[in-house]
Amino acid sequence: MDTKWKKRKVKLSFIIYFLGISLLIGSVLNIVWLWRGEDFSWQKLRDTVTNHLFAAGEEDYQNKEVFREEISRELEIFLTMATGGSISGHFVGNAYILDGINAMVTDSGIIWGNVPGNDGSEYKIRIITQEATTSQEETVLEGPQDGSSDPIQYYKFYTWPNDDSWLYQDNWEEYLERGNYSQEQEEEYRKKRGQLEADWKEAARQYHESIRGDKNLLYGIYNDGELLYSNLNDGQAEELLNWQQLDSAVEEGRNIPVPYGYNFVLYFDGQKVSIYKDGKAVDVYGNGFYRDENDWYVPGYTNFPVDEDYRSVKIYMAAAKEPVQYTEGRYGSSYYRLSCPLYWMSQESSTSSMLKMQFLLVLLAVSLLLLIVAFMMKKSRKAAAQIISEVTVRFWIEIKILIWISVLWILFGCWNLTDGIYRGDWYGWPERTVASSSLLLLFWMLYLSVNELRYQKGEILKHGITAKLIALFSIRELKLPLAQRVMRRNFILYFSVVLPGVSLLALLIVILFQINGWNYLSYDFQRRFIWIGISVFLILFLLLLVLCYFIGKKNRQTVSDLERLTDRIGEIRNGKYEPGEGEIPPSDHDLYQAMADLEDIRSGIETAIEEQMKSERMKVELIANVSHDLKTPLTSIISYVQILKQEENLPEHVKDYIKILDEKSQRLKNMVQDVFTISKAASKELPVNIEVLDFGKLIRQTLADMDEEIQSSVVNFRTNLPVEPVMIRADGQRMYRVFQNLFQNAIKYSLEGSRVHVTLKQDGQVAVASVKNTSRMELLSSVNYAERFTRGDESRTDGGSGLGLSIAQSFTEACGGQFLLETIADLFVVTVSFPVVEEENPGFAQPELSNN
């Protein structure tokens, strides 16, 4: 129940987010376009908003681009009319309406008249067009053909043979001369041209007739000082249409007069166009260069000069401040409304853009509301984004890149097609739809990509043909032995040097050919070769560069693995058997197998050592138990021997027996103790208390401690010990035992009357103590005297346990020293060495505690 709601919430949150963002982008874009349609400026923006929202219909249609287009088109037509040219081919009004007269233009000729618009509005327009495609002879159609309520005034079709189309052109006489026609033919053509010009004139007249009723646009057209066409009434004409006055007004920068109710005036004086709006001059030419449709499309720019023919023409045009609908005909009988483009323009701009703006603002508000809701559902939205990323990441990356490229390409095309974001108002809404939907598409594609990057960063590259190929390749590669793998990579490296080199060489040769003008190869071939060569070279170079990069990466990886491997080997060699810090690398590494094998070896050794330690411990335990078990009866023996010893009145020989019992039991006791100690030392479980001490003093103390024993022995001790301290790190108690054992050993086994030499010297960083004595018995080189239970006396009748030297050795090693035993002939030499401690401290100031 709860989870179900959660799932729904996730879906809902994304839908809300999606709608919110889409509406936001759509509405904001459209609002911007709507504003921009009226020459964007912040001042106007404010005005527009107030106008659109609060004062419908107050807006000035004359600021719109459509108005500018209409005016400039009319000026163009008027100029043509004034010079007697063909006005066909001009579209006045909205090109969209062309569909409605499709049937009438297909057969070509000059068509003009009022045509119903097919956009459902009352919008009517005059169309004059021409096309010469059929070979039909002259056809004349008159009157309305379809019986519609809107009368079509006049149709006239001319059809010309295709090759006669030059007659339409301005330089027709040149064609005539060049054509080498016969006198008769020439006459015929001249007649045809005359007919054409008469028709054009008639068309101009008809056009004038059709528009003169629309008093929203007043005009007067002069040529050579003669008023040709005008729709001003006589009084107005007399007052306003005086071209001498107008010219002087322009020259002096005075205002050009307009009739009452008109606020826009354009005057063409044969050189340039002057425009006044609301009594103020309008900057028509800007910096003097025509750039785009933002400017007035009128002649007179530096890069758009006035035709020679038009120099004698003067045109006066005035537009109404508030256009109205004019009608024509007789009230009561044939009565129809004239097409009044300016009227519709003003109507359209004020109502529809207001409605549009309101609608867009509502959309904007809705989108903002949706977005607020979406942001409140942040958690669910994130979950949704994650789910989406999980879905989208599965698509192949190559497909995604292709989609991106094609969308961008198409968008780029669209952009050029619509020439940026179209500025028209009613015009070009399909383009605008395309633009806004493509921007939306772009946004959502961006969203998906960013989303993927955010949640599936590591995954993106894993889905795709390339990744699959690489995986396939590397799996195959891994099956090869290491040497072959490296070899293959080296090949690629060689190629990366050789291939671009070879292609470069070839290029150089061809370029040389070209420079020297050796024409063994055609120029075309050379050129093509160079271009192909350069591209191949570059592609190869890039490809190999990428390959080199990856190989380098791999090599670096291998080398670092190798370093780890050797480090690991070193560690294991040094007795560090714990698992290493670094994990074994992934199986696609070159040295994976080696490292894994080493790891196996390591863990093998580790287990072996553990087991050895375990058995060693068990041995110690066993010995400890045995010695304990031995000690209990030994205690009784010693106790009763003691009691016996105190017994009086015993025969002398019994006392002797008791004495032997006493001695042997004491020896047994020592042996049990030694065996226990040695087994502990051998298993490295001997606790040691390491501190800094004076080696020389330790030896002196030991000697002093054993003074009595030494004095009563058959040997003499010669010592050579430095006075200054020789500081070492060791356990004093254990080392005392070491030297005690060594001295006892020397006393016990030395030749009678011989000397025992005890020396200590510092040899660099090592303090070496040695005990040398001459053996009473022959020393056998085959015997290791430090071995447990080995004694100089094989009969084992002396008091020792045979463990003295062994214990000495174990203790020295437990303290971190070196114990060396040498026999040279009868000379028995033991050296005990320790590293010297550098710092000259009092020694006992900082005793250091440590175990093992």
Q: Where along the sequence are the contacts to other proteins (CB under 8 A)?
A: 628, 631-632, 634-640, 642-643, 646, 665, 669, 673, 676, 687, 691, 693-695, 697-698, 700-705, 707, 728, 730, 732-733, 735-736, 843-844
Looking at the Cβ atoms of 20 and 732, the one nearer to other proteins is 732
Looking at the Cβ atoms of 195 and 846, the one nearer to other proteins is 846
In whole angstroms, the minimum distance from the beta carbon of 712 to other proteins comes to 14
**Which amino acid belongs to residue 103?**
A
In whole angstroms, the minimum distance from the beta carbon of 478 to other proteins comes to 56
- What is the β-pairing status of strands 273-277 and 280-282? antiparallel
HEC string of 515-564? HHCCCCCCHHHHHHHHHHHHHHHHHHHHHHHHHHHHHHHHHHHHHHHHHH
Looking at the Cβ atoms of 363 and 630, the one nearer to other proteins is 630
Q: What dihedral do alpha carbons 744, 748, 754, 756 form, nearest 10°?
A: -20
In whole angstroms, the minimum distance from the beta carbon of 849 to other proteins comes to 13
In whole angstroms, the minimum distance from the beta carbon of 633 to other proteins comes to 9
In whole angstroms, the minimum distance from the beta carbon of 620 to other proteins comes to 12
Q: Residue 712 forms beta bridges with which residues?
A: none
DSSP state of 849: -
- Non-local (6+) Cβ contacts of 813 within 8 A are 819
CA distance from start to end of the chain: 65
Looking at the Cβ atoms of 102 and 711, the one nearer to other proteins is 711
Give the gyration radius of the chain's Cα atoms. 58
Looking at the Cβ atoms of 31 and 735, the one nearer to other proteins is 735
Contact indicator for 225, 212 with CB cutoff of 8 Å: no
List Cα–Cα distances, 305 to 82, 289, 300, 308, in angstroms: 18, 10, 5, 9
HEC string of 190-213? HHHHHHHHHHHHHHHHHHHHHHHC
Looking at the Cβ atoms of 74 and 691, the one nearer to other proteins is 691
Looking at the Cβ atoms of 259 and 722, the one nearer to other proteins is 722
List Cα–Cα distances, 601 to 128, 558, 578, 580, 587, in angstroms: 98, 21, 12, 13, 18
Token readout for 833 is: 């060495």
In whole angstroms, the minimum distance from the beta carbon of 738 to other proteins comes to 10
- Non-local (6+) Cβ contacts of 344 within 8 A are 121, 123
Query: What burial letters (b/e) apply to 499-511, b meaning 16+ CB within 10 Å?
Result: bbeebeeebeebe
In this structure, what are the phi and psi dihedrals at residue 330, rounded to the nearest 5 degrees? -95, 130
In whole angstroms, the minimum distance from the beta carbon of 719 to other proteins comes to 11
In this structure, what are the phi and psi dihedrals at residue 25, rounded to the nearest 5 degrees? -60, -50
In whole angstroms, the minimum distance from the beta carbon of 830 to other proteins comes to 18
Looking at the Cβ atoms of 646 and 782, the one nearer to other proteins is 646
Looking at the Cβ atoms of 610 and 707, the one nearer to other proteins is 707
In whole angstroms, the minimum distance from the beta carbon of 799 to other proteins comes to 16
HSE at residue 306, side-chain half, CA atoms within 13 A, is: 16
d(CA 560, CA 533): 39
3-class secondary-structure state, position 378:
helix
Looking at the Cβ atoms of 287 and 646, the one nearer to other proteins is 646
Looking at the Cβ atoms of 116 and 732, the one nearer to other proteins is 732
Token readout for 79 is: 């100029």
In whole angstroms, the minimum distance from the beta carbon of 670 to other proteins comes to 10
Token readout for 568 is: 């690991």
- Non-local (6+) Cβ contacts of 631 within 8 A are 672
Looking at the Cβ atoms of 313 and 690, the one nearer to other proteins is 690
Which of these, 217, 219, 230, 210, lies nearest to 338 by C-alpha position? 210
d(CA 75, CA 272): 12
Looking at the Cβ atoms of 445 and 703, the one nearer to other proteins is 703
In whole angstroms, the minimum distance from the beta carbon of 846 to other proteins comes to 12
In whole angstroms, the minimum distance from the beta carbon of 560 to other proteins comes to 48
In whole angstroms, the minimum distance from the beta carbon of 805 to other proteins comes to 19
